[in-house]
């Protein structure tokens, strides 16, 4: 019993260690610096809500989908359309390796996200944003964040 408990505890710690989380307000500052506030009509609160519902602010999150594609990074950008992971067919619209979407500086992620929202559908390309953020009051996402 003790051994099983120890193994479970170690597995949890390894999982926690692998996650690279960014603080909500630190993300807001970075997005602000990269001119995301108001980009294509979306506020910083929209971006923060998206990051939360897609990855819980986890920069290193990778998720496999039923179709064999993968979602990468804080915004869970899909390999079928936006980046190449050399595991499945990709249109690679953002012209980057999917692994770049896991970089803690987030610049490739931000560049790709701008490409996504500039196209047809905007943020509605993210089903989770459509379900949990669109049309809802989101200003609370910026509570306590000082951009200056």
Catalytic residues: 54, 71
How far apart, in whole angstroms, are the C-alpha atoms of residue 95 and residue 140? 34
Strands 70-72, 77-78: pairing is antiparallel
Q: How far apart are CA 47 and CA 31, in angstroms?
A: 8
Please check whether residue 28 is in contact with residue 147, taking contact to mean a CB–CB distance below 8 angstroms: yes
CA distance 21 to 58: 4
| Residue in the block written with tokens 């496999």 | 64
Sign of CA dihedral 38, 75, 71, 54: negative
């Amino acid at each position: 019993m003790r051994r099983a408990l120890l193994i479970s505890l170690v597995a949890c710690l390894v999982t926690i260690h692998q996650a690279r989380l960014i603080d909500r307000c630190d993300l807001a500052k970075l997005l602000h610096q990269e001119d995301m506030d108001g980009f294509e009509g979306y506020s910083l609160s929209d971006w923060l809500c998206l990051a939360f519902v897609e990855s819980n602010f986890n920069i290193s999150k990778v998720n496999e989908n039923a179709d064999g594609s993968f979602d990468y990074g804080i915004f869970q950008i899909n390999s079928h359309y936006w980046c190449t992971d050399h595991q499945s067919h990709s249109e690679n619209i953002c012209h980057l390796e999917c692994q770049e979407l896991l970089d803690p500086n987030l610049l490739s992620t931000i560049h790709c996200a701008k490409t996504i929202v500039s196209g047809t559908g905007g943020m509605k390309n993210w089903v989770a944003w459509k379900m949990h953020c669109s049309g809802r009051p989101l200003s609370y996402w910026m509570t306590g964040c000082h951009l200056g």
